[in-house]
Structure 1
Amino acid sequence: MPPKIFITGATGYIAGDATHLLYTTHPDWSYTALVRTEEKASLLQKAFPTIRTVLGTLEDSDLLKSEAANADIVLHAADASDHEGAARAIASGLIAGHSEASPGYWLHTGGTGILTYADEKAGKLGEWEAQEWNDWSGVAELTSLPDEAFHRNVDRVVLATGTEFAGRVKTAVVCPPTIYGKGRGPVGTRSRQAYELARLILEAEFIPIVGEGKARWDHVHVFDLSRVYLLLAEAAAAAVGGKKEGMGDATGEEEREMWGERGYYFVPGGRHVWGEVAEAMGRQAEVMGLVGDKKLEKAGLSREKAMEQAGFQAVSWGLNSQGRGERAAKVLGWRPEGPGLYEEIPRILSEEAERMGRKTA
C-alpha cells in the first residue's frame, strides 16, 4: 500500500513547492490536501490530478484531527509555526489514529525566527551577534528555548507530542531560514523576507538599513528546502512499508536522531548580512534600470517603519538568526545545491518589478 500523505499549505509557497517535488517523485503515493476554497482546490487538482482535497481552514479542528488520524505522514506548513490550535488538533489526530505498531509521522514547519528572541528581548536592531546555534551538538538548547521565543508555543506542542508519544508519533521540526527562489506550486510562488526588501527598494528608491545593518541571517533556496521534506517523507514511507529505492528502515540509533526530541532541523544553504543584501539589491536595481538613472542612497529604517512595510518580515532585517545545520546532512544525506541568495537577486528584483507592473529588460 502506498503511504497516505496529508498536507496543509499546498497552495502556499513552502508546501506548494514541496508538494510539487513529492508528487513528481512519488506519483503513486496517496495525497490529501487541506484547501480553503473550491477555486484553490481546482487549481491544485489541475496541477496534481490524483490529489484529494478537503475544504477547510486551520480553525476546523475536527477535520484536522480526522485527516491526521487517517494519514501515515502529515506535512504541516500552513501558518504552521504560529497557529497553536492547528498544531494541537494535528497532534490529537496522530495520537488517536496511530499505535506503536503503526506510528504516524509529522513533518512540521517551524522557522529560525525562533533564534531572534535574544535580540528582541534586548531591543537590539542591526547589531552584529556572534552566537550560532547548532542543531546537532546543541539540539537540547534548541528544544528548551525560553517560552517567550518566537514560535516557541507551537514548537512545544510538536516536541511534547514527539516525546510523550514517541512510540506512536514520530515528529520532525524543520526550521527554514530566509527562503528564496520561485516556488513550483500552482498558487503561491513568492517568499517574503528578501522579496519585501526588494519591493521596498523599488518603491521607495532608497536602500533600507535597519540599525547598523550588521544583523546576520541564514538562507536556503526553496528547491533545497523541499528536498528536506522529500527525504524525511521517504524515510517515513520506508518505515511504514512504502518503497524507497536503495534504502531500508532506519536503525534504532538513526530513528533517535531523526525523530522526536532530537528531530530538530536547521537547513541553511548560506548566510548573509542584511545590510549587505540591501545594498547589493539596490546596486543591482540601478544596473537593471529599475530605478531610472538614480543612484540610490542608504537610509535608516526604524522598527515602526519596518512594521508598516511588512510586519515582522521587515523587522527581521535587523535581527540575527544563525544556525549551523548538521542534522539533515548526517541523518538524511542532504546538501544544498541551489543557487545562492546573491545569485538570485536579479531574478528577485525582476519578479518584484513585474508584480508592480514595471517593465524589465
Structure 2
Amino acid sequence: MTQIFITGSTGLIGSAILSQLVQRHPDFKIAALVRTPEKASSLKSLYPHVELEPVLGTLHDSTLLEKQAGRADVVINNRLLLPLLICNHPWPEKGSRTRQAKEKGNNNTPRYLRHTSGAFIVHQYGDRSTPAPKVYDDIEDLAEIVSLPDERPHRDVEKIVLSAHKTTAGLIHTAIINPPIVYRSNWSIHTTFPLSLPDLIKRFVAQGHCLKLGQGRASFSYVHHADLATVFMRLLDRALLNPGPSANPEDIDNGYFFVDTGFTELKDYIGAIDAALKSRGLIGAEAKEVSGPEEAERFHPYLCPTLCGHMRVRGSRARRYLGWELREDVGCGAGGGGCVG
C-alpha cells in the first residue's frame, strides 16, 4: 500500500491537497502531522472512511519527522515558508526532511519529496509606477532561478531539497512547488483567516480608509488553492504510475514548478477592497497616499515586502509536462483569503 506523509494538512494549502488526495486515492495510507488533539479529531471526523493517521507533533520534532518520513513513499511538505515571519526554523526541520527521504531511499526504491515553497523567491522590488519588469517562467528562466543568491527568501531550504536527488544517486525525486499569492479559505479546517488580505482589511477598517502606494503598478500572480492542489495530484500520479529514477525527468533535479492562474496590479487589488468596504459602510474616506516603504511597513509589516514590488511568475512546467490547467479561478479580489508565497 502506498504511504504518504503530509505536513500542514489543516492549513490553506495542505487541506486542499489532502481533500483531493483522499478523493483520488482513498486506498492510500496517510500520516498527517498536526499540532493539537483538536486538529487530529477534526481530520478523523472529516475523513472517517480512509486510512488516515493524525500524527501529533511539530516541525521541530526531528525524531518524529524522521520516523514518519522513513515509512513514506511520498513526503508532501505543505508548510509554506514565509520569510517575513522567519518561518525557516533551525535545522531540525530543514535537514531532517531531506534526510528522512534519503534514508527511505536506501533500499533502491525511488521515493518522492514534494516541497511547498513560494514565488517570493523571485520577488522584484522596483518602481511602482511601471509594470513588472519580468515574468519568471519555470522553464525559460530555470537556469537563473536555480542560481539565485543565497539571501533570497526560501533559497536555503530549496538548495537542500534540490540536492537530495544528487546525493542519493537518483533515488530521491524532488519537486519544489512555488505558488505566488494563494487565495480562498473555505477548505481550511482551522486557518480561517490566512495571512495578508483579511488582516489588511481589518487595518483599513480601523483607520477608516484604504492606502495607495504610488501609481499602484506593483503586480503579483495568484492561484486558487484547489488549482494548486491539482498540481500536487498530477505530480503524485505521474510518480506512482511511472516509477523509476528516470521515468519523470521533468520533476527531479531542478524541478521547480511555479503555479499561476492569473495576476493583478496593486491599484486593482486595493481598488476592489476599497469598493467592497465602502459598499458595506465599513469605511467612508478616500484612500490616502503612503509616503514610502517605511510608512507602509509601519502600517502593516507585510504590506511593503508583499505589495511594494512585483512577483510575477508563469507556470509552464506543470502545463507542459503534467497537462495541468486551471479550473477554479474566479480572480484574486477582496472576496477570498490570501496567503503570500
TM-score in terms of structure 1 length: 0.83
User: Which aligned pairs between 1:43-192 and structure 2 lie closer than 5 A?
Assistant: 43-49=42-48, 50-80=51-81, 82-83=88-89, 85=91, 86-99=93-106, 101-116=108-123, 118-119=124-125, 124=126, 126-128=128-130, 129-165=132-168, 167-192=170-195
The structural deviation recorded for 1:100 is: 7.1
Is residue 221–residue 338 contact of structure 1 (8 Å, CA) maintained in 2? Answer: yes
More displaced, 57-66 or 41-50?
A: 41-50
Distance in 1 between the 2:253 and 2:25 partners?
A: 25
1:255 counterpart residue number: 248
Distance in 1 between the 2:134 and 2:149 partners?
A: 16
The structural deviation recorded for 1:299 is: 2.8
Distance in 2 between the 1:307 and 1:43 partners?
A: 36
The structural deviation recorded for 1:64 is: 1.1
1:352 counterpart residue number: none
The structural deviation recorded for 1:93 is: 0.8
1:298 equivalent to 2:288? Answer yes
Taking structure 1 as reference, are residues 84 and 220 closer, same or farther at Cα in structure 2, changes over 3 Å only?
A: farther
2:85 counterpart residue number: none
Is residue 197–residue 314 contact of structure 1 (8 Å, CA) maintained in 2? Answer: no
Distance in 2 between the 1:313 and 1:92 partners?
A: 36
Q: State, as a whole percentage, how many aligned pairs show the same letter.
A: 29
CA offset digits 1:228-281 (Å, max 9, x no partner): 1111122223245xxxxxxxx8x94x61112222x1011010011113210121
Q: Give the CA RMSD over aligned residues.
A: 2.4
Amino acid at match of 1:7: I
Taking structure 1 as reference, are residues 200 and 302 closer, same or farther at Cα in structure 2, changes over 3 Å only?
A: farther
Is residue 183–residue 222 contact of structure 1 (8 Å, CA) maintained in 2? Answer: no
Is residue 208–residue 282 contact of structure 2 (8 Å, CA) maintained in 1? Answer: no
Distance in 2 between the 1:39 and 1:145 partners?
A: 40
The structural deviation recorded for 1:174 is: 0.3
Distance in 1 between the 2:181 and 2:268 partners?
A: 15
The structure with the greater share of residues assigned to helix is 1
Taking structure 1 as reference, are residues 146 and 221 closer, same or farther at Cα in structure 2, changes over 3 Å only?
A: same
1:13 equivalent to 2:12? Answer yes
Taking structure 1 as reference, are residues 163 and 193 closer, same or farther at Cα in structure 2, changes over 3 Å only?
A: farther
Distance in 2 between the 1:230 and 1:313 partners?
A: 32
Q: Which runs of 5+ in 2 are unaligned?
A: 83-87
CA offset digits 1:99-133 (Å, max 9, x no partner): 473111111001011112x52xxxx4635331121
CA offset digits 1:25-78 (Å, max 9, x no partner): 222111001111222211121112331022211111121112111101111022
Is residue 126–residue 319 contact of structure 1 (8 Å, CA) maintained in 2? Answer: yes
TM-score in terms of structure 2 length: 0.88
User: Which aligned pairs between 1:178-327 and structure 2 lie closer than 5 A?
Assistant: 178-240=181-243, 252=246, 255-261=248-254, 263-291=255-283, 294-300=284-290, 302-308=292-298, 310-312=300-302, 315-327=305-317
For the residue of structure 2 that corresponds to 1:43, the secondary structure is helix
Distance in 2 between the 1:347 and 1:75 partners?
A: 25
How many positions carry a matched residue from both structures? Answer: 329
Taking structure 1 as reference, are residues 99 and 309 closer, same or farther at Cα in structure 2, changes over 3 Å only?
A: farther
Distance in 1 between the 2:22 and 2:117 partners?
A: 22
For the residue of structure 2 that corresponds to 1:54, the secondary structure is strand
Is residue 127–residue 318 contact of structure 1 (8 Å, CA) maintained in 2? Answer: no
Is residue 165–residue 173 contact of structure 2 (8 Å, CA) maintained in 1? Answer: yes
Distance in 1 between the 2:140 and 2:102 partners?
A: 29
Distance in 1 between the 2:111 and 2:149 partners?
A: 28
Is residue 125–residue 212 contact of structure 1 (8 Å, CA) maintained in 2? Answer: no
Is residue 76–residue 113 contact of structure 2 (8 Å, CA) maintained in 1? Answer: yes
For the residue of structure 2 that corresponds to 1:51, the secondary structure is strand
